[in-house]
Amino acid sequence: MSESFNKIICGDPFPGSKRVHVEGSKHGIRVPFREVALSPSRAEDREELPNAPVRLYDPSGPYGESGATCDLARGLSPIRRAWIEARGGVEERESMTPPRDGGAPPFPGRGTKMFRSKRGGNVTQMHYARKGRITEEMEFVAIREGMKPEFVRDEVASGRAIIPANVNHLEVEPCVIGRGFLTKINANIGNSAVASSVEEEVRKMIWAIRWGADTVMDLSTGPDIHETREWIIRNAPVPIGTVPIYQALEKVGGKPEELTWDIFAQTLEEQAEQGVDYMTIHAGVRLATVPLAANRATGIVSRGGSILASWCLAHHEENFLYTHFGEICEIFKSYDVAFSLGDGLRPGSIADANDEAQFAELDTLGELTEKAWRHDVQVMIEGPGHVPMDKIRENMERQAASCHGAPFYTLGPLTTDVAPGYDHITSAIGAAMIGWFGTAMLCYVTPKEHLGLPNKDDVRDGVVAYKIAAHAADIAKGHPRAREWDDAMAKARFEFRWDDQFHLAMDPIKAVEFHDETLPEPGARVARFCSMCGPKFCAMKISQDLRDYAKAKGLAPGEALHAGLEEKAREYRDNGEKSREKEVRRKKLEVRRKGKRN
Amino acid sequence: MSESFNKIICGDPFPGSKRVHVEGSKHGIRVPFREVALSPSRAEDREELPNAPVRLYDPSGPYGESGATCDLARGLSPIRRAWIEARGGVEERESMTPPRDGGAPPFPGRGTKMFRSKRGGNVTQMHYARKGRITEEMEFVAIREGMKPEFVRDEVASGRAIIPANVNHLEVEPCVIGRGFLTKINANIGNSAVASSVEEEVRKMIWAIRWGADTVMDLSTGPDIHETREWIIRNAPVPIGTVPIYQALEKVGGKPEELTWDIFAQTLEEQAEQGVDYMTIHAGVRLATVPLAANRATGIVSRGGSILASWCLAHHEENFLYTHFGEICEIFKSYDVAFSLGDGLRPGSIADANDEAQFAELDTLGELTEKAWRHDVQVMIEGPGHVPMDKIRENMERQAASCHGAPFYTLGPLTTDVAPGYDHITSAIGAAMIGWFGTAMLCYVTPKEHLGLPNKDDVRDGVVAYKIAAHAADIAKGHPRAREWDDAMAKARFEFRWDDQFHLAMDPIKAVEFHDETLPEPGARVARFCSMCGPKFCAMKISQDLRDYAKAKGLAPGEALHAGLEEKAREYRDNGEKSREKEVRRKKLEVRRKGKRN
C-alpha cells in the first residue's frame, strides 16, 4: 500500500457545510448530518432577516467531518460494539476462514476474533423488531430520517424496511432502506481482472460516500477479493454489500459447473465474518425458467445470473441456492446479513423488458421472501435493468404484490439502449420514476456502463445523478422533509445569495466551478445577475424589483392594479430608473476589474 | 471574423455513419438521414448473416456530410427558393431594415432583397394545408418522419403540428413539430453582455445540431444581435427561433417601460426578413395576472416575462403584445413565422409549480391560439420550468385541453432545484416524462443552467441529455420506428460487435473514448468482454454460450430441460471447457500485448 494511501481525504466537508450530530437516548448514538449555514436575507435598505441553517442527510462518515483523523490501517471506530455486547446473544470466536497467501497485504488492525450468534440464536434487526424491541440501530435511523423509533420498528418488523447491519460491521452508521423513508442510493465499486487495485477500491468507496452513496457494493471479480473487502469494510461508515458467487467462482478456478453448496456456504461464512451487511443471492434463477431467457435479445446480463444458469444447465439440477435456501437463512440470521434477492434474469435491453423470464423469477423471489421472513431474516428484492418508461409502473406494482411489500432495489432502469457513455442519464430517468412509485433503493449506473470499469470521475457522476433521481422521487412522493432543501435553494437563488446557492448544492464544488468559469471575481458573488443574461436581462433581478415594489405599495396577490395606479406607475418608473443606473454602474465596475471583455 | 472561422467542422460525419438522401416526388426534395452500416452477425464456425444498416433522423445538415464544403461567408444552399417561387404568393422586395453601424461585420453573402407575401396574402404552411395542398415542405417532413404526406397535411391543418419555415429561410431542411411525430429538441445559443462573440455563436449552432438539436434558438441579449442572427440563419439547416422582445429592449436602451408597439413591430419585421422561423411572444403576461406572481418563491424567471411584467406595471395598461395580437398575426402570416407563445409566468422553483399564475397564463395562451389559427398562423405553446414529477401529467393535460391540441414545447421541466451543475439531468427526467405524455418539443437545459452561459462542452452535454429524453419518450409512446435503434444496439451488444455499438451510439465519439480508456488495443474490439467484468465474468459471454447451446440442441423457449439432459449436460461441460480455455488464452494475449497489468 502506497505511503500516500493513508493520507486520503479525511476531515474535508463541503465548502459552507459542517458536520453536526444529534444525540440519541443511549450512549454512543450520535447521528451525523450535513449542516449548511445560510446568510441572512437582506432587501435593499432593510434589516437583515436570518435564515435557519439547513440540515441534510449525510452518509459520508468521518471523512466529511472537519478535524477528523482517519488511519486506514486502523479502520473507523467500532461504534456498535457496545450496543451489540449489551444486547447479548452473540459470542466472540475465532474466524473460521483460513489465512490467505500472497497478493494484497492483509488488513493489519483487526485481529482474528469475530461475532456470531450463540448456537441456534437469531440476531437480526427484524428478530428484535418482532419481539417489540427498539434497538440502538432503530433509534439511530429514526433520528436520521426524522421519524419516530416506533414507526421504524414497525416497518422493520413487517419487512417493509431493512436495516442492513451485520454484527461484525461495528463501524457502520446505520441506515434504513424502505419505501416509507428517504430513497437511498447504492454505488458499485470493485476491481476486475483487467483493472484496479485494493487501494483504488478503498478510495472509490470513500469517494462514493462523499458524494452521497448510502451503501456501497463491492463487486470485485479480480484478484485479492478477500483483502480488498476487508480494507473496505473496516473503513466504511455505510453498509457494504457483496455478491458471494463471484468469490465462490474464483475458488473453483472460474468454472461455474464446479461450484458446490459447500464451497458457497464457506464463502458466505467468510464474508459474514468480515461484516458484509447484505448479499446478493440469485436463488430465483430456476432450472425451469432459464430456458425462458434463451431467445432474448440480450440473454442474461447479470453476472451471477449467468453463472447460476450455467450451473443449472451443466448439472440439469435445480439451482443449489434455491434448494439450500433454508441453510442460507440459518447462516444469515447468525450474523444479521440481509438478503438482496438477485434479479439474475433481469432484462438487459428494451426488447426484453417485462418478459416472461423476468416475472417468473420475481414470483420465486416472492416465495423466498416469505421463507426468509420465517427465519426473521431481512430481505430486499433486486430489480431491473432496461425498461422503457411505459413499462416501469408495472414493475413496481408486480413487485409490491409478489414480494409482500419487501423493499425494491433496482438498477436504474435504463429507459433506452442507444446512449452508451451517458447511461447514468438514460437510467436516472427510469430510477427517478421507479423511486417515485415506491422503490426503496436505486443502484447507480455510471457513464462507463457497457463500456468499461468506472474511474473516480465516473463514480462522482453516477452518484450525483442518482442522488438527483432519489431526491426527485422523495419530492414527488411528498416526503415531508424533502422540499425544505429545494425551498432553501429557491430562496437563496431569488435573493442572489450566491454563496448560499453553492453551499446548498448537491455538488457544491462543481456549482462554484461552473459559476466562476465566466464570473470569477469576488464581486460576482453579490451580483444580481450571472453571465447567462447579464445585469439588464436578469429576470430574477427584474422580478425582485417587482415584488419589492408590490410589497412596498401594499399590493396583495390578486389585488387589482387599477386603483390609484397612475401615481404608482410613476413611482415605479422612477425607482426602476435609479435601480437600473445602479446596476449599470456596478456592472461597469465589474468589467473594469476584470480587465478585459469576454 | 478570424481566419479559422470559415474552416469549421464541415463534412465530418460520425465514425461509422454516412449521409444518405431519400428523394421526394419533386426536384430538390432530398431528405437527409444518418446511416450506420453494421457488420454481419457471426456465430463461431457459422456463416455470416448480414445486418441491415440503420437509418437515423439527422438534423446536422451538410456539416454531417462527407465531402461537403461549407463557406460560412456564403451560407448554405437556398434549397427552398424554387419551391417558394413555384408556389407564388410572394414578392421579392427591398429590406425595410436600415443598415446598422459598427460592431460585428455584416453577413456578406445575402444582398438586400427579401420575400414577403403579396399584400393581404398568407403564405403559412397551415394556410396551404387547410386549402388541401401538400407543399414540398410537407412532403419533405413526411419522408423524414416515415409518415404519409396526407397525414402531415392533416396534422398541420388542424394545428396539432407545425412546420416552422419562414419564406426567407431558404436554407432550412424542414422539420415538423407535433405529438404525432418524433419528439424534437431545441438548443439555445446566444451571447449576453458578459460573454461570447458572433463567431462563437455560429460555431455553437453548428455544434448543437451535430449532436442532434432539431431547432436552435438564438437568445442573444448582448451586442450585435442582428448580425449574429444573420450569420446563424444563413448557415442553419434547422429552424431558428428568437425572442424579439430582447432586441426591442436593446433598442430602447434596456428600459422596459420605454417599449412601444411600433418599436416591437419594426423588430418583428426586421427579424422576419432575416428568416426567423418562430418567435417567442409573451402575450400571456396579462396585467391582471402579473400580481399573481408577486408572492412566489422565485417570482418571474422568464426574461421576456419579467420585461413585459415591468411594462404592464409601469404603464398600468394591458400588455401591448396582447392588445396588438391581431397585428402580430398579420405580420407572421406574411412570412410564415410561427408563434411560440411564451410562458412568461412559468414556475422557476418546485415551490411555484402549477400555481395560479402559471395556469392563468396558459388559459390566455389557449385563447390566443384560436385567434392565431383564425389567421392560419402556426402556433406552439411554451411550458415549464420547474415541476416535481407528481405534477407533470397535470401540465400536459391542461395544456392539451386549454390549447386545443397545439404542440407543447417545454423547458425541461426540472424535477428538483438542488443540483446546479447538473440541471441537464434534473430536467432530462422531467423532459422524458412530459415527452412521453405528449409534449412535442423539449427545450434543452445545460449543466450551466442557473450558473452562467454554456460553453461548447455544456452544449454537447445538454443536447445529448435531451436527445436521450426525446428518444426515451418516443419508445414509451410506441413510435413505430423508435425501437429499431435500440434493437440494433442490443443485438450488436449481445454479439460483441463493439465497433457497431460505437457507431450506433447517440454519441459515437464518447462511446469509443470511454471503452478505450481501459481497453484501447485493436484486439479489444473483437473481445467478448470489456474491462467491467473481464473475460471470465462477462454475463453476455456466458449467456451467448447458453443460447448457442440451447439452439444447437433444438431447445425451444419454455421446453423442459429434463428430457435427455444427462448427455446434454456432459456435452455442455465439454463445450464450456473448450470455450473458456480459448477465452483465457485470448486474454493472456491481450495482456501481453498491453505490456503491463492494469
- A598 pLDDT band, cuts 50/70/90, is very low
Give the pLDDT score at B524.
80
> What's the pLDDT score for residue B9?
59
B578 vs A contacts (CB less than 8 Å): none
The highest-confidence range among A180-194, A334-348, B91-105, B184-198, by mean pLDDT, is A334-348
Please say if the pLDDT value at position B192 is more than 80. Answer: no
Chain B closest CA to A220's CA: distance in Å? 9
Q: Closest CB to A491: pick one of B297, B472, B477.
A: B297
- Residue A348 touches chain B, beta carbons under 8 Å: yes
Note the pLDDT of residue B576. Answer: 55
CA–CA gap between residue A463 and residue A208 (Å, rounded): 7
pTM comes to 0.92
Return d(Cα A542, Cα A264) in angstroms, integer.
67
Q: Which of A195, A532, A568 sits opposite B192 (nearest CB)?
A: A532
DSSP reduced 3-state for A116: strand
pLDDT band at B595 (very low <50, low <70, confident <90, very high): very low
Write down the pLDDT at residue B578. Answer: 59
Q: Per-residue pLDDT tens for A30-50?
A: 999 999 999 999 866 678 899
> Of B421, B429, B577, which has the smallest distance from its Cβ to A507's Cβ?
B421
CA angle A572, A574, A575 (to 5 degrees): 65
How confident is the model over A67-88, as a mean pLDDT?
90
Do A418 and A448 contact (CB within 8 A), yes or no?
no
Q: Which stretch of A286-290, B30-34, B64-68, B286-290 has the lowest confidence by average pLDDT?
A: B64-68
Is a pLDDT exceeding 90 seen at residue B518? Answer: no
pLDDT at B554: 67
CA-to-CA dists, residue A3 to A71, A76, A199, angstroms: 12, 19, 11
- Check residue A596 and give its pLDDT: 38
Mean pLDDT of A190-203: 78
Lowest-confidence pick of A6-20, A367-381, B252-266:
A6-20
Mean pLDDT, residues A335-345: 97
Does B38 lie at the interface with A, CB-CB under 8 angstroms? no
Which stretch of DSSP H or E encloses residue B184?
Answer: strand B184-189
The answer to which of A421-425, B44-48, B485-489 has the lowest mean pLDDT is: B44-48
Q: How far apart are CA B512 and CA B517, in angstroms?
A: 9
What integer pLDDT is reported at residue A521 of this predicted model? 81
Check A314 against B388: CB less than 8 A apart. Answer: no
Q: With bands split at pLDDT 50, 70 and 90, how would you rate the model's confidence at A531?
A: low
Inform me whether the pLDDT recorded for B1 exceeds 60: no
A110 C-beta neighbours (distance < 10 Å), count: 18
* For range A497-521, the mean pLDDT: 93
pLDDT at residue A424, as a whole number: 98
Q: Percentage of chain A surpassing pLDDT 70?
A: 86
Q: pLDDT tens-digit profile of A418-446?
A: 999 999 999 999 999 999 999 999 999 99
Give residue A160's pLDDT band: very low, low, confident or very high (50, 70, 90). Answer: very high
Q: At what angle do helices B356-374 and B392-402 cross, to 10 degrees?
A: 30
How far is the C-alpha of A407 from the C-alpha of A378, rounded, in Å? 10
A350-359, B4-13, B416-425: least confidently modelled range:
B4-13
How large is the average pLDDT for residues B464-493? 96
The whole-angstrom separation of Cα B286 and Cα B312 is 8
Residues of B in contact with A306 (CB under 8 A): 539-540, 542-543, 546
- pLDDT category, B323, cuts 50, 70, 90? very high
pLDDT tier for residue A483 given thresholds of 50, 70 and 90: very high
Torsion on CA atoms A513, A514, A515, A517, rounded to nearest 10? 80
> Residue B325: what pLDDT?
98
Looking at A225-229, B342-346, B375-379, B437-441, which range is the least confident one?
A225-229
Separation in Å, CA of B502 to nearest CA in chain A = 8
For residue B5, what pLDDT is reported? 52
| A458: closest CA of chain B, how far (Å) | 10
First CA to last CA distance, chain A: 47
* Beta-sheet strand order (sheet of B17-23): B17-23, B30-36, B54-57
Q: Which residues contact B3 (CB under 8 A, 6 or more apart)?
A: none
Interchain contact A494–B (C-beta under 8 A): yes
Yes or no, beta carbons of B254 and A580 under 8 Å apart: yes
Question: With 0-12 CB in 10 A as exposed, 13-18 as middle and 19+ as buried, what is A586?
Answer: middle
Nearest CA to CA, how far is B6 from chain A (Å)?
Answer: 21
Residues 355-414 of B with CB under 8 A from A: 388-390
Q: Which of A349, A391, A422, A567 best probes binding to B when mutated, by most B CB atoms within 10 angstroms?
A: A422
- Tell me the H-state helices in A478-538: 482-494, 498-504, 508-518, 534-537
Spell out which residues of chain A touch residue B559, defining contact as CB-CB under 8 Å.
291
pLDDT at B566: 45
Q: Between A44 and A202, whose confidence is greater?
A: A202
* Interface predicted TM-score (ipTM) of this complex, two decimals: 0.91
> What pLDDT digit, counting tens, does each position of A113-154 carry?
899 999 999 999 999 999 999 999 999 999 999 999 999 999
CA angle A566, A567, A571 (to 5 degrees): 120
Contact predicate B238/B258, CB 8 Å? no
pLDDT for A141 equals: 98
3-state secondary structure A55-70: EEECCCHHHHCCCCCC
Q: Establish if B533 touches chain A: CB-CB under 8 angstroms.
A: yes
Tell me the CA distances in angstroms from B394 to A77, A88, B337, B402, B403, one per residue in order: 50, 54, 29, 12, 14
Q: What percent of chain B has pLDDT over 90?
A: 70
Q: Is B174 part of the contact surface with chain A (CB cutoff 8 Å)? A: no
Determine, for residues A419 and B505 on separate chains, whether the beta-carbon distance falls below 8 Å. Answer: yes
Q: Of residues B470 and B13, which shows the higher confidence score?
A: B470
Tens-digit pLDDT profile for residues B545-574: 767 766 676 655 434 333 444 454 555 556
Residue B537 pLDDT more than 70? no
- Name the percent of chain A lying above pLDDT 90: 70
Confidence grade of residue A207 (pLDDT, cut at 50, 70, 90)? very high
Predicted confidence (pLDDT) per residue in A248-290, tens digit? 999 999 999 999 999 999 999 999 999 999 999 999 999 999 9
Task: State the average pLDDT for chain A.
Answer: 89
* pLDDT of B23 above 80: yes
Give A410's strand partners: A383, A442
Q: How many CB pairs under 8 A join A and B?
A: 487
Mean pLDDT for the stretch of residues B411-439:
98
Average pLDDT over chain B, rounded to an integer = 89
- Contacts by residues A524-531 (CB-CB < 8 Å, ≥ 24 positions apart): A524/A498, A524/A590, A525/A498, A525/A499, A526/A496, A526/A498, A527/A496, A527/A498, A527/A586, A527/A590, A528/A496, A528/A583, A529/A583, A529/A587, A529/B194, A530/B450, A530/B451, A530/B452, A531/A598, A531/B192, A531/B194, A531/B195, A531/B452, A531/B453
pLDDT of residue B564: 40
Q: Give the total residue count for chain A.
A: 598
pLDDT in tens, B226-260: 999 999 999 999 999 999 999 999 999 999 999 99
Asked if A530 lies within 8 A of B469 by C-beta distance, the reply is: no
Please report the pLDDT score of residue B472 as a whole number: 98
Average pLDDT value for residue range B260-267: 98
